[in-house]
Structure 1
Amino acid sequence: MYIHIHRIEYDQVSVKLAEFSREGVDKLRAIGGGKWDPNGKFWRFPCTEEKLRQLAECFPETEITFDGLTVSPKVTEDEQLMPTLERMLTSALKLKGYSLKTSKAYRGHVRRYLQNLAGYLELKGPGTLKEEELESAIIDSSRAKQYTLQLLEQGHSPAYVNQAISALRFLAVEVFKQPSEQTKYIRPKKEKKLPYVLSEQEVLRVIQAPTNLKHRTMLYLAYASGLRVSEVVRLKITDIDPERGILRVRQGKGKKDRHTLLSQTAWDMIKKYVKAERLSTSLWLFPGQHPGSHLHERSLQKVFKEALQTSGVMKQVGIHVLRHSFATHLLENGTDLRYIQELLGHANPSTTERYTHVSTKNLKRIQSPLDRILRDRDPRGE
């Protein structure tokens, strides 16, 4: 008996039986927390690792791969990473309102630290760790320092190591209830990287490259409104307000709603696309392959990669470059940084100020000394 699982919302998944059977329906009901969706003809379940594991246990014939996580019901005692701790950590992350991506990353860092700690203590596996051993290791800054040094030696970036430290600190403070002043670890210095930016002409070449109307509409919106890839795929038709010329971004990064620009050109493209696809009653502006689901982020990233290759723009960049270009082009055309910060949804002004370092508006006014020397030497430019 097989089931199909797909994400349909930020915190929900759809579960559909490959073949209808009363036994399968009874199993889904017994799991608890599910609700039948009569429109989509599928079951809705909370998108949690625990719920996915319960589904895997009830349907062992199905290997569930979800967001890069393979959930298997066959977990030996030695492979279990302290299930009680796992549940406590997951609950604490949820109570604090951490995003699904951050929660998944933190749980992964904690698991890897437990595996490393088990090896350090020469134990059979993470499942044999005692709570006092773990708590002591979390508080012990020298042990944490040794672990972070190992990560750096393995070639991990400072950003990755900083996130690992944040995960361990969260575990110590929020799960083990240790005083925050006792859990201060030495963090590696952050890399200061400037965002990549395309010129206005390069942007046009890239977003006009797709011949597929849906693909072109997505790229137009990503640039014209300065959206993250996750925000593009989760747009709903009801989020568009053409009369006011705005887009409503619901629960963007940091779980914040905001308004951003809706360009007339992008709106014209949306109208053509909605009409061609007959999406007037659809929930998502860019639906995925499965009923009730939106397009996956990786699909849009693939669309951008193909558009970049087709356009002939020879730069190694991802789709996020359209958001960076949106901000930089606004700045170069005189838009105040404060407005750009609001449109992008940045909580900290310093994040937006990065674009002043990549803007060429003032640089174009400065003449290279080489050009000046050669010009003075030969006024005719020969």
Structure 2
Amino acid sequence: MQPLRLQMQRDMKLRGLALRTQETYIAAVAALAKHYRCSPDGLSIDQIQRYVLHLLEDRQLSWSSCNQAICAFRFFYGVTLKRGVFALEIPHGRTPQKQPEILSRSEVMRLLDAASRLHDRVLLKTTYAAGLRLSEVIALRWSDIDSERMSLRVEQGKGAQDRYTVLSSGLLAELRTYWKLRRPEGPWLFPGRDPSVPICDSSVQRLYTHTKQKAGITKRGGIHALRHAFATHLLEAGIDLHMIQRFMGHRSLSTTQRYLHLTQSHLKDKAGALDLLQSG
């Protein structure tokens, strides 16, 4: 598997796949090889299809998880092994479309107030106030803060795209306090135990889950709920859809438009979301 793994990694890097996607694809192909206890380049179409069925029926994985594995197989067999037709015979499963449970502004405030440690509060506040994905917030560096333009630089976000998002005055003040009191070593805004690497995503998810429980919030979802709340609250505040699209890093406006269905139809205070971002 080692030569094939290296070749697959090179192929993914050449095509600009995100690091998290690379790790997911490698893990999926490695699991396939482990299941059959042989090198994956010797497996047949029928064996691949039976393995996907095993994931669905025996392991009872969700369609989204199975689709990730299928995408990995398509890349491995179609790109790395150059068997283009091989992987196309495996159909995608249909993922049920579920609307996320949106945190209200008061729930976001409760969540932030429940974070007792400065590090935790700043991390959660940055995620919400800038509308960041989990992979984006943990990859933030101190050099990404542009206080003159009041913006945060997101380097190589989803789709290997750089972008700038909003930096409110309240968040900037809290980041400065965080810097004075914590003085993190290394380039990372939120370093791990080893300051040469950023905090791991599982630690951030646990932090969010613990703080959410502490705040008495029962709505489902992980830390990505803060990104959903960011977009929804700005829409409710009357911010232009195209501006929110740029903040979120969506390639298509239709992706941003789905938040229109999640906003409240009648609001008395349309400046509330911005007030929350600016006041911290």
Q: Which TM bucket (shorter chain)?
A: 0.7 to 0.9
Which residue in 1 is equivalent to 2:224?
A: 320
Q: Does the CA-based 8 Å contact 2:236-2:267 persist in structure 1?
A: no
1:88 maps to 2:4: no
Q: 1:285: which partner in 2?
A: 189
Change (3 A) 1:243 1:83: closer
Matched residues in 2 for 1:145 and 1:274: separation?
Answer: 52
Whichever residue aligns with residue 52 of structure 2, its letter is T
Query: CA separation of 1:288/1:87 partners in 2, compared to 1, >3 Å: closer, same or farther?
Result: closer
Query: Which of the numbers 157, 177, 202 marks the counterpart of 1:298?
Result: 202
Cα gap change, 1:89 to 1:243, in 2 (>3 Å): closer
CA offsets per residue over residues 275-326 of structure 1, 9 Å max, x none? Answer: 12245x8522223322423222223222222221222223233111111100
Residue equivalent to 2:271: none
Q: Distance in 1 between matches of 2:109 and 2:65?
A: 34
1:170-228 residue CA offsets vs partner (Å, 9 max, x unmatched): 12221222245873422111221212210011101101212222211111111111112
Q: 1:200 to 1:103 in 2, by over 3 A?
A: same
Distance 1:220-1:358 versus aligned 2 partners, 3 A rule: same
Q: Secondary structure at the match of 1:257?
A: strand
Which whole-Å deviations, capped at 9, do the CAs of 1:129-177 have from their partners, x for residues lacking one?
7x5x43xx1xx3x554333223221211111111122111112221222
Aligned amino acid, residue 145 of structure 2: I
2:169 aligns to what?
A: 264
2:101, 2:221 within 8 Å by CA — same for their partners in 1?
Answer: yes
Q: Which residue of 1 aligns with 2:31?
A: 112
1:339 is aligned to: 243
Contact 2:186 2:195 in 1 (8 A): no
Give the percent of matched residue pairs that are identical in Structure 1 and Structure 2. Answer: 39
1:172 and 1:183 in contact (8 A); partners too: no
Residue type matched to 2:256 in 1?
T
Matching residue within 20, 23, 45 for 1:101: 20
TM-score of the two chains, using structure 1 as the length reference: 0.64
Instruction: Choose the corresponding residue for 1:126, options 25, 28, 38.
Output: 38
Query: Matches of residues 197-216 of structure 1 in structure 2 within 5 Å?
Result: 197-216=102-121
What does the per-residue CA deviation read over 1:257-281, in whole Å, with 9 as the maximum and x for residues that have no partner? 11000011111111111112245x8
With the length of structure 2 as denominator, give the TM-score of the two structures.
0.85
**Bigger Cα displacement from structure 2, 149-158 vs 262-271:** 149-158
The answer to whether residue 155 in structure 2 is matched with residue 250 in structure 1 is yes
Considering fraction of residues, name the structure with more strand. 1
Q: Deviations over 1:2-48 (max 9, x none)?
A: xxxxxxxxxxxxxxxxxxxxxxxxxxxxxxxxxxxxxxxxxxxxxxx
Contact residue 225 and residue 260 of structure 1 kept, 8 A: yes
Contact 2:128/2:226, CA 8 A, preserved across alignment: yes
Are the equivalent residues in 2 in contact too, given 1:194–1:357 (CA < 8 A)? no
Which of 1 and 2 has higher RCO (CA within 8 Å, sep 6+)? 2
SS of residue matched to 1:260? strand
Q: 1:153 corresponds to which residue? A: 57
Contact 2:73 2:87 (8 Å CA) reproduced = no
Contact kept, 8 Å, 2:101 with 2:220, in 1: the verdict is no
1:331: how far off?
1.0
Rg larger in 1 or in 2?
Answer: 1
| Count of equivalent residues | 267
What is the DSSP-based 3-state SS (H/G/I as helix, E as strand, rest coil) of the residue aligned with 2:120? helix
From the superposition, tell whether residues 356 and 276 of structure 1 become closer, same or farther in structure 2 (CA, over 3 Å).
same
1:223 aligned to which of 123, 128, 143: 128
| 2-structure distance, mates of 1:322, 1:150 | 34
The 1:151/1:251 distance shift into structure 2, 3 A limit, reads same
**Runs of 5+ unmatched residues, structure 1:** 1-81, 119-124, 365-382
Cα separation, 2, equivalents of 1:172 and 1:329:
43
Match of 1:46 in 2: none
Are the aligned partners of 1:237 and 1:282 in contact in 2 as well (CA < 8 Å)?
Answer: no
Q: Tell me what 2:255 maps to.
A: 351
CA contact (8 A) 1:106 1:167 kept: yes
Structure whose residues are more often helix by fraction: 2
Amino acid at match of 2:38: P
Q: Is the 8 A contact 2:165 2:247 kept in 1?
A: yes
What SS class does the counterpart of residue 55 from structure 2 fall into? helix
1:176 counterpart = 2:176: no
Cα root mean square deviation, aligned: 2.4
